[in-house]
Amino acid sequence: MIHYILMFHQHCVTEELTPQYLQDMIPMCMDQYKRIFCTVREPHEDVDKLVTHNSRHIIIMRRGVYFKLDIYSVDNDGKEMILTVQEIHSILQQIMNLTEDTTECCRIASLTTQRRDIWAKQRTQLLGNPVNKSSITDVETCVSMFCLDDESPKTEEELAATVMTGNGVNRWFDKSLEFISFANGLVGVNAEHASADATIPGRLWEYFLTSEKYKNGKIEIDRNTRRKRLPIPERLEWELDDFEQEIDIALEGFKKIAESFDLRIVSPYYGKGLIKKKKMSPDGYIQMALQLAFYRLHQKIPKTYESASTRIFAEGRTETIRPGSDYSVQWVKSMHCEKATREQRIMLLRKAVQFQTQVKIDTSLGMGWDRHLLGLFAVSHELQISPPALFRDKAFWKPDILSTSQTPTQFTKQWRLDSSCIGGGFFPSAFDGYGVAYMVVGEDIIKFHVTTNYNCPTTSATKMGDTIVEAMADMAELLS
Predicted confidence (pLDDT) per residue in 151-200, tens digit: 999 999 999 999 999 999 999 999 999 999 999 999 999 999 999 999 99
193 is catalytic: yes
Superfamily of domain 2-259: Choline/Carnitine o-acyltransferase, domain 2 (3.30.559.70)
Q: Summarize pLDDT for 292-329 with one digit per residue, the tens.
A: 999 999 999 999 999 999 999 999 999 999 999 999 99
Q: Residue 440: which pLDDT band, with cuts at 50, 70 and 90?
A: very high
C-alpha–C-alpha distance, residues 296 and 301, integer Å: 10
Relative to beta strand 434-441, strand 402-406 is: parallel
Q: What pLDDT, on a 0 to 100 scale, did the predictor assign at position 221?
A: 66
Domain with CATH 3.30.559.10 in the chain: 264-367+399-479
Q: Computed over its alpha carbons, how large is the radius of gyration of the chain?
A: 24
Q: What pLDDT, on a 0 to 100 scale, did the predictor assign at position 142?
A: 98
Q: Summarize pLDDT for 343-386 with one digit per residue, the tens.
A: 999 999 999 999 999 999 999 999 999 999 999 999 999 999 99
Q: Are 192 and 177 in contact (CB under 8 A)?
A: yes
C-alpha–C-alpha distance, residues 273 and 444, integer Å: 6
Structure-model confidence comparison of residues 387 and 304, the more confident one? 304
- Of 3, 9, 89, 193, catalytic: 193
Residues ≥6 apart with Cβ < 8 Å to 99 = 62, 63, 65
Q: For residue 175, give the nearest of 311, 270, 53 by alpha carbon.
A: 53
Q: Residue 226: which pLDDT band, with cuts at 50, 70 and 90?
A: low
Helix H or strand E segment including 273: helix 272-277
Find the range with the poorest average confidence among 77-81, 98-102, 164-168, 447-451: 77-81
Q: Residue 454: which pLDDT band, with cuts at 50, 70 and 90?
A: very high
Residue 435, pLDDT > 90, answer: yes
Is CATH 3.40.50.1100 the classification given to domain 264-367+399-479? no
Identify the three-state secondary structure at position 67.
strand
Domain with CATH 3.30.559.70 in the chain: 2-259
Q: Summarize pLDDT for 402-421 with one digit per residue, the tens.
A: 999 998 888 888 888 888 88
Q: Are 375 and 345 in contact (CB under 8 A)?
A: no
Q: What pLDDT, on a 0 to 100 scale, did the predictor assign at position 321?
A: 97
Q: Summarize pLDDT for 1-53 with one digit per residue, the tens.
A: 999 999 999 999 999 998 988 888 899 999 999 999 999 999 999 999 999 99
Q: What pLDDT, on a 0 to 100 scale, did the predictor assign at position 39?
A: 97
Q: What pLDDT, on a 0 to 100 scale, did the predictor assign at position 223?
A: 61
Q: For residue 26, give the nearest of 313, 400, 276 by alpha carbon.
A: 313
Q: What pLDDT, on a 0 to 100 scale, did the predictor assign at position 222?
A: 65
Q: What is the mean pLDDT of residues 129-157?
A: 97
Structure-model confidence comparison of residues 388 and 219, the more confident one? 388
